[in-house]
Amino acid sequence: MSNPDLIPTVRVTATYLGPDKRPLKGTITFNGPPLLTFPESDLFIAGAVVCTLDEQGRLIDPAGNLGVLLPATDSPNMNPTGWAYTVKESLTGVTGTRTYAMLLPQDTPGGSVDLADVAPTDPTTPNYVPVVGASAYEIAVRQGFVGTEAQWVASLKGDKGDPGSITTVNGKTGSSVTLNAADVGALALTGGTLSGTLRVDTAQHGFTSKSTVTANGHAVTAWMAATSGTGSALNAVSDNPGFSAVQISGKETNTGTIKVTHAKPGTDDDSGAAALSIDLVGAGTAAQGIFINSTVERADGVAGTTGNLITVRNRKGFEDFKLAGNGRLSMGAAIGYNPTAMIDLRMPDTTVPALIVRAAGTTGANLTEWQRSTDGAVRTRVSPTGQLVTLETLYAAGVGLQVGSTSVTFGGGSGVLGITNAGTVPTTNPTGGGVLYAEAGALKWRGPNGTVTTIAPA
């Protein structure tokens, strides 16, 4: 029966790092003779052993163990004899590969060897065979030392000498030199002032600041101390067309997620300034100036937020402009007023009208239009000259309908028609109908033939 435990082995370890102490990746391959025979163990060993590097750059064997156990190159009763391992290094990011020979004698001190101790350091001599010699303790025994290895190590310690003077560390001297952050041009862990330009250029989060201050503290403060020029305290630029240049989220209960405060600069005229300025640039841009949305789960037509979408308060006690969460718009209402129509205008006093519409010209578009719901056809309109035109039935459901005057002359009646004396009596014959008018209190009718008939005397 085969017994691998009878074969002497040596553990090989290694760690590969880059100049910046970054762990390297790659493979380390150990090649021996094509076929090794161990008669006493009834074993044949063939093939190469391919090891990889873990996340710390350390050598691990195919089974995942740290380091690799290899048969000693001078194992007894082995065929062939007098051979060495060929080590091949293939490292990711390192140009080319390195190959060299290595002996693993069974009496290797400690039964372990690190590749850093046996790999060639001269690139002009990539192949050589290291030979493990006697340790310093063994040489000392040969020279007559009597005692254990620990006693020999203790014997190497001599008397403590006088402290020396260090004169090459930033001009500081003494037996012990301590350098602080300022000595090496660095910021202290507790903070400090950085002068000059700081640039963070990484493929991940370029800068992260976390603060646990609970009173008047800010995780990041950008302060432009200059009082002239076009520089900004904070300038965010993004080349990514697939997402927003700035993301801001908060969990406020009684203030805005974004608060913008414009402070009047002394006595300077700031009539051209704005707390928020939006500039949509680029030929043919179709970007929206302001877009408000609530992405909470909701059905079609159901408001996502019950709060106002827009609230403007410039007069104390009034909401000068409010777009409620239900889509209704009010202007000039008291704070907390719920609009009762899609557009609800509240007149501030008795001199300012609620709505003024002025045409661009007498032949321009209608001042207002009321359209039929089925096809959008205009049924009632106010023309550019202010004329009321309706193609539907006109109802006067009040006390009466007054013609020719803004003063009520109903004589105390209700459901009546009042006609003021004609300012100019008609003299031209109407076509397609007649003219009804009042003259000196008498009701008259002028027909298309010019005949004037008194319907009722004064």
pLDDT digits 0-9 by tens, 5-44 = 778 899 999 999 988 889 999 999 999 998 888 887 777 7
Q: Is 319 inside any structural domain?
A: yes
Tell me, what's the pLDDT at 159? Answer: 73
Residues of the chain with pLDDT under 70: 1-3, 121-136, 139, 142, 161-171, 174-175, 185, 187, 196, 200, 202-207, 362
Same domain, 325 and 369: no
Q: Are residues 418 and 452 in the same domain?
A: yes
pLDDT value at residue 215: 72
The answer to whether 188 touches 194, Cβ cutoff 8 Å, is no
Same domain, residue pair 39 and 105: yes
State whether 93 and 37 are in the same domain: yes
For every residue of 288-326, DSSP letters joined together read -S------SS--TT--S-SS-SEEE--STTEESEEE-TT
Residue 194 in domain: no
Domain co-membership, 379 together with 441: no
325 and 386 inside one domain: no
Q: Into how many domains does the chain fold?
A: 4
- H or E stretch covering 138: helix 136-142
Q: In one letter, which amino acid is 137?
A: Y
Segments forming the whole domain that contains residue 29: 4-118
**Same-domain status, 384 and 407:** no
Asked if the structure places residue 84 within a domain, the reply is yes
Q: Are residues 435 and 331 in the same domain?
A: no
What pLDDT, on the 0 to 100 scale, is given for residue 126?
A: 54
Decide which of 375, 392, 409 is a domain's last residue. Answer: 392
Instruction: List, for residues 251-278, the tens digit of each pLDDT value.
Output: 888 888 898 888 888 888 988 899 889 9
Give the pLDDT confidence score for residue 240 in this predicted structure. Answer: 87
Other CB atoms within a 10 A radius of the CB of residue 102 amount to: 21
> Is residue 385 domain-resident?
yes
Q: What is the pLDDT of residue 205?
A: 65
Under a CB-based contact definition with an 8 Å cutoff, are residues 108 and 132 in contact? yes
- 14: nearest Cα among 121, 112, 132: 112
